[in-house]
Amino acid sequence: MSIGTLNEGPLHESLKTLYTPANAEQEVPIDGFVADVKLGQQVIEIQTTSFGAIRRKLEHLVESYSVVLVHPIAAQRTIVKLPVEQDAQATRRRSPKKRNLVNILDELVSIPQLLQHPNFELEAVLTEEEEILEYAPGKVRRRKGWRVVQRRLVEVREQHRFRCIEDLWALAPGELGETFGTAELALAMQAPRSMAQKFAYCMREAGSISLCGKQGNALQYERVV
């Protein structure tokens, strides 16, 4: 299954249905692109994978439309392995990996400047999902031959809208000094330092913080007023 097919799978379709208002159109051609949902001058795009894959599309659409990008984050995932033998049963187990709102940064690093644009908003959707795997040992090296063929929406747990770059500070509710590094950011976010580094990158690229020096080998930042 190609990435394009995965994007149009059950998870994508369920979210598209959820985010289609009354009287809106789906799959609307616009200037060589296809918008998931369009209502007047608003476009809603559902992206279940990399933001980088639709960066050019988003950058084009925001010049003429109000764009809302919707991205699911699996707070809880159930792994369903399809049977290998014809008379066997599928197996199910809860994944120990749990994600939360800060994981929006995993994808936002591809398009941080867009949150500066007045026509762009980002909606993070915390979900419970099923991930369907099939055994394809000759096609997949990772996961010991198992590959993801579908993601299915079980439940929407929470929705959070980022309307501008300043809204990202909701990811770092703890106290910060006038200057700070990614170690302090990680504490304020209650997240790994790797996430704090992504946060700092997004904020710096979008012009919300600036580099103001070093403390030892650690870069120091300050908020831009």
> Which residues in the chain come in under a pLDDT of 70?
1-8, 139-143
- pLDDT at position 102 is 97
Which residues are bridge partners to 147 per DSSP? 134
- pLDDT at position 46 is 98
User: Is the distance from CB of 145 to CB of 5 less than 8 angstroms?
Assistant: no
Domain boundaries along the sequence of the chain:
3-163, 168-225
pTM over cut 0.85: yes
User: What tokens does 9 get?
Assistant: 């799978």
- pLDDT at position 176 is 95
- pLDDT at position 3 is 33
- pLDDT at position 5 is 34
Phi and psi based region of residue 190 (left: phi greater than 0; alpha: psi -120 to 50; beta: remaining): left
- pLDDT at position 137 is 79
Percent helix / strand / coil, the chain, rounded to 5? 30, 40, 30
What CATH number has the domain spanning 168-225? Answer: 1.10.10.10
- pLDDT at position 4 is 36
